[in-house]
């Protein structure tokens, strides 16, 4: 059985953000462009080492990897152990749930989104971000069998994400994208409105009106 790289190569994973600082800044900018208007209890599911959470002002995280969670805690994030499909959170207890390049690693995308919906309070928002499978970085990751972190990942396309959100009872409110010009890796890119370009796409969603109050049992 292969060792889990998220437990054994945590520092190498975390160092990526320093080695690709401009890309990371671009991604943070796209996420900031669509942040929910209402502050409150924000939780990042799959918080990893806490890089995004710290930059976006997210105080809490859920993370299955003990090694990753330790680094996130060192960055000031309150972390609970858990997975996206079974969140250790009460119903309607969170104002915003973030899934930032997390859905490609979960076992069940539909269940993960249903759980996000379960824990969202009335008026809460879901923020997802993906590396679309059919765009440049997604194609590179998919083709690289030596990448120990992404070789088991199942990347989504934007269309697949939209479909999954709709099935889970969400409606898309706003989208932003970045990493359009990969020929200039040291350049911090702007956040583009919409999701029709870029290798990093962030999406803010709300519970669809016709689904509000409906059961989330699967």
What are the DSSP calls for 140-199, one per residue? HHHH-TT-TTTTT--PPPHHHHHHHHHHTTEEEEEEEEE---TT-TTSPPPPEESSSS-S
Q: Is the pLDDT of residue 132 over 90?
A: yes
Domain contains 213: no
Domain contains 217: no
Q: For the chain, what is the domain count?
A: 1
The predicted model gives 143-159 an average pLDDT of: 91
Q: Is the dihedral of CA 212, 32, 164, 91 positive or negative?
A: negative
The predicted model gives 84-98 an average pLDDT of: 98
Domain contains 126: yes
Q: Which one has a higher pLDDT value, 213 or 105?
A: 105
Summarize pLDDT for 9-40 with one digit per residue, the tens: 999 999 999 999 999 999 999 999 999 999 99
At residue 75, the 3 state secondary structure works out as coil
Summarize pLDDT for 194-217 with one digit per residue, the tens: 999 999 999 999 998 864 444 443
User: Domain containing 86: what range?
Assistant: 5-205
Domain contains 72: yes
Q: Average per-residue pLDDT in the chain? A: 93
Contact status, residue 80 vs residue 61, Cβ threshold 8 Å: yes
Domain contains 215: no
Q: How confident is the model at residue 147 (pLDDT cuts 50, 70, 90)?
A: confident
Classify residue 109 as exposed, middle or buried by CB count within 10 Å of its CB (0-12, 13-18, 19+).
buried
Contact status, residue 44 vs residue 61, Cβ threshold 8 Å: yes
φ/ψ (deg, to 5) at 129: -140, 140
């Amino acid at each position: 059985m292969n060792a889990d790289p998220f437990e054994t190569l945590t520092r190498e994973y975390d160092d990526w953000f320093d080695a690709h600082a401009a890309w990371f800044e671009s991604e943070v900018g796209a996420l900031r462009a669509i942040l929910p208007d209402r502050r409150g209890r924000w939780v990042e599911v799959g918080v990893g080492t806490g890089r995004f959470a710290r930059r976006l002002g997210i105080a809490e995280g859920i993370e299955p990897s003990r090694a990753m969670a330790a680094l996130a805690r060192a960055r000031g994030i309150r972390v609970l152990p858990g997975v996206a499909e079974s969140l250790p959170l009460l119903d309607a207890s969170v104002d915003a749930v973030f899934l930032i390049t997390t859905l490609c690693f979960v076992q069940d995308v539909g269940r993960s989104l249903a759980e996000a919906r379960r824990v969202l309070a009335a008026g809460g928002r879901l923020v997802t971000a993906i590396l679309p499978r059919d765009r440049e970085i997604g194609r590179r990751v998919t083709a690289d069998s030596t990448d120990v972190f992404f070789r088991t990942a199942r990347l989504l396309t934007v269309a697949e994400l939209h479909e999954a959100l709709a099935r889970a009872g969400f409606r898309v409110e706003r989208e932003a994208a970045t990493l359009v010009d990969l020929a200039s890796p040291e350049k911090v890119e702007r956040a583009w409105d919409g999701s029709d370009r870029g290798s990093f796409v962030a999406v803010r969603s709300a519970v669809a009106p016709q689904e509000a109050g409906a059961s989330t049992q699967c």
